[in-house]
Amino acid sequence: MSDKPTVLFVCVHNAGRSQMAAGWLGHMGGDRIEVRSAGSAPAEQVNPVAVTAMREVGIDITAERPKVLTAGAVEASDVVITMGCGDACPIFPGKRYEDWKLDDPAGQDIEAVRRIRDEIKDRVGKLIADLLPA
């Protein structure tokens, strides 16, 4: 791992979970961690309910766009966190992989998306503590 760890969040559509996780990591980790996100089958746009849920906590992800997952993005990352993309994620030796089991916010109401958002925040906090020892 370089001086500045790189984290890649991956979900199927790169429209909900991975975008919220990237938003949290950018917000909580500042410029100490490089943040990326991608999807194995990217959607047309970020889930508007996820955008609303993040805006409620002061994090603006409106400018984000779903991006396609590439082998290069995985190779250039120190930590790859998958969220239900299954076998679509390429595996490279020496990378740290985690699979976060999270509900998909697609088609869910704001209450459900808030719960997912808050669970992601907790996991991101633990990830930061692990990547950036005090």
Over residues 4-15, the pLDDT tens digits come to 999 999 998 999
Q: How confident is the model at residue 92 (pLDDT cuts 50, 70, 90)?
A: confident
- The predicted model scores a pTM of 0.94
Predicted pLDDT at 28: 97
Is-catalytic flag, 32? no
Predicted pLDDT at 2: 55
Is-catalytic flag, 93? no
Judged by DSSP in three states, 24 sits in helix
- Residue closest to 44 by CA, chosen among 13, 11, 19, 73: 13
With 80 as the cut, is the pLDDT of residue 134 above it? no
pLDDT tens across 24-81, in order?
A: 999 999 999 999 999 988 999 999 999 999 999 999 999 999 999 998 999 999 999 9
Catalytic residue among 20, 35, 85, 128: 85
- Residue closest to 37 by CA, chosen among 20, 57, 62, 59: 20
Least confident of 63-67, 77-81, 88-92, 126-130: 88-92
Q: Distance between CA 134 and CA 119 in Å, rounded?
A: 23
Catalytic residue among 12, 50, 89, 116: 89
Q: Distance between CA 89 and CA 81 in Å, rounded?
A: 10
Which ranges of the chain does DSSP label H, i.e. alpha helix?
Answer: 17-29, 48-55, 71-75, 110-131
Q: Which residues pair with 37 in a beta bridge?
A: 9
Element (H, E) at 36: strand 34-39
Is-catalytic flag, 11? yes
Domains of the chain: residue spans and CATH: 6-128 (3.40.50.2300)
